[in-house]
Each structure stands twice: as C-alpha cells, then as structure tokens.
Structure 1
C-alpha cells in the first residue's frame, strides 16, 4: 500500500469519525503528495524518499510554528500544530534512538574513512542518504560533529 493510499484511507476514516484536526493534517499531507506528483511533470513517479522528505518537512514546519506560537504566548495554536505534527509522524518510519544513530554514524565514518571535522561533508552525504526518514537532519549533523571533533 502506497503512502497516498494510506493517506486516502485515513482521510475516509477521519471523515467518518468527524475528527476535524486529524482530517486537516491528513489533507495537508495529501496536498503535499499531489504537489510532488505534479512538480516535475505529469509522468513523474514519486519515490519513497521524496515522500519521506515531504513528511519530515511538514512535521518540522509544524514544530517550528508551535515553537513560535509558544514564544508569542499562544498555547492553543501551539497545541494544534503539535497535534498535527504527531498525526503526520504516524506515517513516518520509527525514528532511531540516540544510541542507534551513534553506532550507525560511527560505521559510516569508518566506511568513508573520515578523520577530522574537515571530512564532515563526506560523512553527511552518505549519512543523509542512508538515514532518510529514520532520523532528523539536525540530529544527524550534531552527532557527526560530535564524533568527528
């Protein structure tokens, strides 16, 4: 079952349950999928990596918005954004723990043969591709910096 099919099914379920917040979040994901499909022409097939990046981007946007709302003392809007982020995260693969991430990045550093912080670009290139959808970019970057320092 593709992501689009899962989202369509979840939209139907949310409509039947009259879950307004869930429906809103799912519709924004569906909109993102449609934009991906039409972005590069009518015959473009959307890859799983593109879908994962789109989902991660939407979650990140909502978390950043919630942070801004919290700073501006608007907790009701922050809660709404965080709830939508949580709904979208249901469609992402499980995120790696810090220990798993560290061991995976150590393996990538050994594979690439990185010695110092100068080699961060090499490590990040491989790590970003391998860990797409499994860890946030910022977490990957921070871990690479820490291990190469």
Structure 2
C-alpha cells in the first residue's frame, strides 16, 4: 500500500509491517478482483444473457452486472466495459 511504502521510506518498519499485515487480512477475506480480461468475458456473457443489443439497454445490463460482479470489480470499471461493449 501507499502507507506502507511511506513508512518504509521513513525507516518505520514497525508501522510498515503493521500496514502490510492488515492488507494481507483484507486480501484473504475479500473476493478476488477480476482481471481486465475476466471482466470483459463476464460482461460479454451478461450482455448475451440479458439479450442487450444497444446502449438503450445499458441500465438492464448494469442492474444484473452490479449484483453479479459486486465486490469483484469496481462499479466504474463495470460501467465503462458495458458502455464499450454496447457501443
């Protein structure tokens, strides 16, 4: 993390290691984030599943995508990918 890097630069290994330990705990319990390729594949599958063919149906796709990909991808990234693939 940025904080750990700053603590390391300031020779505060005690604070840096505490920060990195917290990150390790978060990573263990949070869902694995999708790679850009995985996100593209998931969104393509959702578009096909919903039967969307144009930007007019973005809301329908986003409704499903937001629920299904929650915690695995950022909402802005999902929205951008849906726009890209429906355009």
Q: TM-score when scaled to structure 1? A: 0.42
Say if 2:62 is the partner of 1:119: no
The residue number in structure 2 matching 1:94 is: 32
CA drift of 1:89 comes to 4.2
Aligned partner of 2:15 in structure 1 is none
Write out aligned runs for 1:135-146 (5 A): 135-146=73-84
Q: 43, 48, 70: which one pairs with 1:105?
A: 43
Greater RCO, 1 or 2 (C-alpha within 8 Å, sep 6+): 2
**Hey, which bits of structure 1, 4+ residues long, moved more than 3 A?**
none
Q: Root-mean-square deviation (CA), in Å? A: 2.4
The 1:89/1:137 distance shift into structure 2, 3 A limit, reads: farther
| Pairing of 1:15-94 with structure 2 (within 5 A) | 87=23, 89-90=26-27, 91-94=29-32
Unaligned runs of 5+ in 2: 7-18
- Tell me the TM-score normalized by structure 2: 0.69
1:134 aligned residue (72, 79, 87): 72
Q: Equivalents in 1 of 2:54, 2:41: separation in Å?
A: 17
Residue number in structure 1 paired with 2:16: none
Structure 1 residue 93: deviation in Å? 1.0
